[in-house]
Chains A and B, each alone.
Chain A
Amino acid sequence: MFKIFDVAGSALSAQTVRLNTTASNLANADSVSSSIDQTYRARQPVFAAMLDQARSGDQTAVGVQVKGIVESQSELRQEYRPDHPMANEEGYVFLPNVNVVEEMANMISASRSFQTNVEVTNTAKQMMLQTLRIGE
């Protein structure tokens, strides 16, 4: 039973990482730069089940972990703005490849998952407390 708190807790932390990257992406959606290398790229966490944990014990319930954070390799937006202070010699500025609509959907999904896991923890807590009061 105590395993539920580990599992739901790992999901909470993973969803927080996801919310963090979404916040970072949205904040930098308009961060202009003058070269391709210096431009911000949208980043996303990669989730994976903690299967090594399951293999070591006899438990089938597994938590979730963030394997890493990958940067989007899709093309950067390039705009011709010769009057922009960050424009390069040819008059181009580079904008991040952040898809704002996608990020908003991501944010809602992450916050819903977070809420669900909080509820799971609360229900598990109620179950535990009632078990402790057994025979009273």
Chain B
Amino acid sequence: MPTNLNNALGIHEYALNLQARRAELLSSNIANADTPNYKAQDIDFQSMLADYAGKGNGPVATHARHFGNAAQAGEDGALYRTPTQPSVDGNTVDPQVEKAAYMENALRYQATLDFVNGTIKSLRTAITGQ
């Protein structure tokens, strides 16, 4: 049990934010499924979370000016998707892939919410002592 209430939710707070942003990105991909020259984007959730937790698999930044893992992506961690099949109009959205990713992300969001709810419940039990 965390003693500092600020960190009571631990990594789940960050994960929730990341999943919300990923949902936005994927919805943008789905919305632009028919837009010429639109390039699909996504967040590498695992590496972003690992970066946050401070145990990334990649090279460790030991200096302030080193590039970290997240530096490969934009500041917000958005990366362009590698298209599975070429399209004449320059669009790289594969609707099926995006739909599946969106659903998966929604499920993960719900799971994270469940974890947060559980933490809040145990905190409440601790406070009320019942």
**A contacts, CB < 8 Å to B:** 1, 3-4, 7-8, 10-11, 14-15, 18, 46-49, 58-64, 109-110, 113, 116-117, 119-120, 123-124, 126-127, 130-131, 134-136
Partner of A109, one of B31, B34, B78, B116: B34
Partner of A3, one of B24, B103, B121: B24
Distance, CA A110 to CA B33, complexed state (A): 10
**B contacts, CB < 8 Å to A:** 16, 20, 23-25, 27-28, 30-38, 41, 74, 76, 78, 95, 99, 102-103, 106, 109-110, 113, 116-117, 120-121, 124
With A123-B102, A135-B117 in contact, is A113–B34 under 8 Å at CB? yes
Contacts of B35 in A (CB 8 A): 47-49, 64
Contacts of B20 in A (CB 8 A): 1, 127
Distance, CA A123 to CA B27, complexed state (A): 10
Task: Tell whether, in the assembled complex, residue A116 and residue B33 are in contact, meaning their CB atoms are under 8 Å apart.
Answer: yes
- A-B pairs with beta carbons under 8 Å apart, 15 shown: A4-B24, A46-B36, A47-B35, A49-B35, A49-B37, A61-B27, A62-B28, A113-B34, A116-B95, A119-B99, A123-B102, A127-B110, A131-B16, A131-B113, A135-B117
Number of A-B contacts (CB under 8 A): 96
Task: Tell whether, in the assembled complex, residue A59 and residue B32 are in contact, meaning their CB atoms are under 8 Å apart.
Answer: no
Residue of A with least CB distance to B27: A4
Distance, CA A82 to CA B23, complexed state (A): 61
Task: Tell whether, in the assembled complex, residue A7 and residue B31 are in contact, meaning their CB atoms are under 8 Å apart.
Answer: yes
Partner of B117, one of A3, A61, A126, A134: A134
Q: Top 4 A-B pairs ranked by shortest CB distance?
A: A11-B31, A61-B28, A61-B24, A135-B120
Residue of A with least CB distance to B17: A1
Task: Tell whether, in the assembled complex, residue B76 and residue A49 are in contact, meaning their CB atoms are under 8 Å apart.
Answer: no
Task: Tell whether, in the assembled complex, residue B27 and residue A124 are in contact, meaning their CB atoms are under 8 Å apart.
Answer: yes
Taking the nearest CB of chain A, how far is it from the CB of B48, in angstroms? 14
Contacts of A10 in B (CB 8 A): 31
Distance, CA A63 to CA B34, complexed state (A): 12
Contacts of A63 in B (CB 8 A): 28, 31
Contacts of A18 in B (CB 8 A): 34
Task: Tell whether, in the assembled complex, residue A134 and residue B116 are in contact, meaning their CB atoms are under 8 Å apart.
Answer: yes
With A1-B24, A124-B23, A134-B113 in contact, is A49–B32 under 8 Å at CB? yes
